[in-house]
Structure 1
């Protein structure tokens, strides 16, 4: 897999994992302030979710690269 392919797989999988992690652990505030959306999360913990997405995307990218390098997955016919 080329460097461009690795970057594309990483970016796509990062966004996929990030969007999957967004709803986890989100609680709306008990008493929302006037002028705010009642469903807005109190503490979204975006840095933690971005870190988790980075770790999972890195593992998925290296896993796919390893599977392609060993011949388990062939995206291009040989």
Structure 2
């Protein structure tokens, strides 16, 4: 796997995991301010979720890397 392929695979994994992590711990504010959506979270905790996403993505990517290197499954076409 080339470094560019590894980075692209990591970014795809990262974005997929981010969308899975975003709903964690979301609480809707009871009192909404004018101009905000009623469903807007009170404290979105985006930095914490980005860190968790990065750690989970790293573990998944490492698993993918070793699976690809072991030749148990071929990801090559043809």
Report how far residue 43 of structure 1 moved: 0.2
Report how far residue 56 of structure 1 moved: 1.1
Structure 1 stretches of at least 4 aligned residues deviating more than 3 Å after TM superposition = none
Q: Distance in 2 between matches of 1:28 and 1:63?
A: 35
Report how far residue 73 of structure 1 moved: 1.7
Q: 1:26-68, CA deviations, whole angstroms, 9 ceiling, x for partnerless residues?
A: 1111111222211110001111111111011111111111111
Q: Distance in 1 between matches of 2:75 and 2:43?
A: 41
Name which structure has the greater RCO, CA cutoff 8 Å, separation 6+.
1
Q: Distance in 1 between matches of 2:29 and 2:77?
A: 54
| Residue 58 (structure 1) aligned with residue 58 (structure 2) | yes
Give the unaligned 5+ runs of structure 1.
none
Specify whether residues 70 and 34 from structure 1 end up closer, same or farther in structure 2 by C-alpha distance, changes over 3 A only. Answer: same
Instruction: Provide the TM-score with structure 1 as the length reference.
Output: 0.90
Number of residues of Structure 1 aligned to a counterpart in Structure 2 = 78
Instruction: Provide the TM-score with structure 2 as the length reference.
Output: 0.90
